[in-house]
Amino acid sequence: MKDFLRRVFDTEFLPMSEVRKIKVLLVMAFLLVITALTIPFSLFFSYSTFITILILAIFLVVYGLMAVLIQLNKILAAIQISILYSIGLTLFYTQGTSAFYAYLFFFIALTIIIFYQELYSYLVYGTIVTGLGIFYIVTHQSALVLAQDIPGSMYIYILILALFYIVFLMQILYNEKLYTDMNFDWVRLNHVIDKYQDDIFIYLDEFQKMNKRPLAYEDLDFQKTVNELAVFIGEQTKESGKDIINVFDLYLYIHEKGIARILENEEISVSMKKTANRLNKYLLNRRTDMFSMIVNFFSRFKPSEKYNQNRYDYSLRKFSTKGDEQVIALAMIYQYLANEVTGSDEWEQMKRVLTETEIEELFTGSDAEEFLTPSQIAFFKENLDLFVDYLGKKQ
C-alpha cells in the first residue's frame, strides 16, 4: 500500500502506461465501494429477487475480469470494461431506484470517464451517458420535477448535465492539445540534439585533453570498476568470469573506434559484430532519450542574460568606430573561416572547412549587409586576392 501511494503521488514522473494502471486501480477501488453499498440498497429496488441477484453476480464477474486483465497487463481493456461497468451500474440504478439518485449516477459515470482523460473514450462513452441522461430526464420528468419546483426545472436538469459534459470535453481537448504540443516540442528537440550531439562530445573530449584528463572510457578507475563488475556478473552466470574480459575489451574498443567502423570491418567475425551491436546501447556517448532530457532540463533552467535589444547585433561598426580596426576584424574573420571547421557536410554535421568560394559568398551575399557596411564589402571584393594569398588556408 505504501508503494502504491508513493506511485500515486509521483505519477507525473511515470510513463503513461503506469499512470493508466494507477488510474484503473483507483477506479476499481471506487467501484468496489459503490458495489458494496449497492448490495444492501438493492433490497429496496423495484427488481425481483432473482433479477437483483443475477445482476449483482454479473457485476462481480465483470469486476473479477478487470482484476485478471490488470494482472495480464491489459490496461486499456481494463479501462474500457471499468467504464462499461460504471454505465451498467448507472442503468441498474435508473431502473430500480428513485429518479433523483439515478440522475446523480449519470454524473458519477461521467466523472469516471473524465478521470481517465482519454479523448476518444470520452467522446464515445461520455456522449452515450449524456444522451441516456437527457433521455432519462425527459421520460422521468414527473418523478424528477416536484410540484414546488419552479417552472422549467426539467430543462435545468438537462442544462446542468449538458454543461457538465461540455465543460469537461473542452478541458480534455485542451489537455490533448497541450500533450500534442509537448510531444512536438520533444520531437523537435530530439532532432536538434541529434544534429549537435557529435559536436558536443567532440568538444567534451577536447576539453578533457586540454585539462590533461583522460576520456571517460579511458579513466583507469572507470575501467577497473566495470572490469570487476563484469567478472562478478560473469561468474554468477558461468563457471568462470574470465570469458567476460573479451566482451569488456570490445566495449572499450567500440568507444575508441565507433560502432560503424566495427560493423563495416570485414576482418571482424559475425558473432563479435552481434556482440558489439548489443553493447552499443550501453556506450557512454550513445544518443539516448536520457541525454535529450538532461540537455533539455539544463537548457531550460540555465539562467540567461537580461534582455538586450542589440544582443544579437554583430555588425562590425558596432564593435569599433575606427576604420582600420574594422578592417583588422574583417581580416581576422576571414582567416578564422578559412582555417577552422565551420562548414556543414551533407548530413548537416559541422565537420569541414569552408572553401574559398563559400567564404566569398558569405562576405558578398545579401546576408552580409546585416554585418558589414557597403564600404567593407567593396574593400573585400577589391582585395580578395590578398585575403586568399595571405589569410587563406595554407596548402
pLDDT truncated to tens, each residue of the chain (395 aa)?
Answer: 566 556 555 555 566 778 888 888 888 989 899 888 888 877 777 778 888 888 888 989 999 999 999 888 888 899 999 999 999 888 888 876 666 777 888 899 999 999 888 888 889 999 999 999 888 888 877 766 654 556 667 788 889 899 999 999 998 898 888 888 877 877 777 777 776 766 777 777 777 778 877 777 777 777 787 777 777 666 666 656 566 777 777 877 887 777 888 888 888 888 888 888 877 777 776 766 666 666 666 766 667 667 666 666 677 777 777 888 888 988 898 888 888 887 776 666 667 888 888 888 888 888 888 788 888 888 988 998 888 888 887 65
Residues 54 and 173 in one domain: yes
pLDDT of residue 12: 53
pLDDT of residue 127: 92
Name the domain boundary from 130, 161, 182. 182
Residue 176 belongs to some domain of the structure? yes
Residue 290 belongs to some domain of the structure? no
**Residue 243 sits in which domain range?**
216-282
Residues 111 and 255 in one domain: no
Residue 116 belongs to some domain of the structure? yes
Residues 7 and 150 in one domain: yes
Residues 12 and 157 in one domain: yes
pLDDT of residue 308: 67
Quote the cell numbers at residue 4: 502504491
Residues 222 and 178 in one domain: no
Q: How many domains does the chain have?
A: 3
pLDDT of residue 147: 43
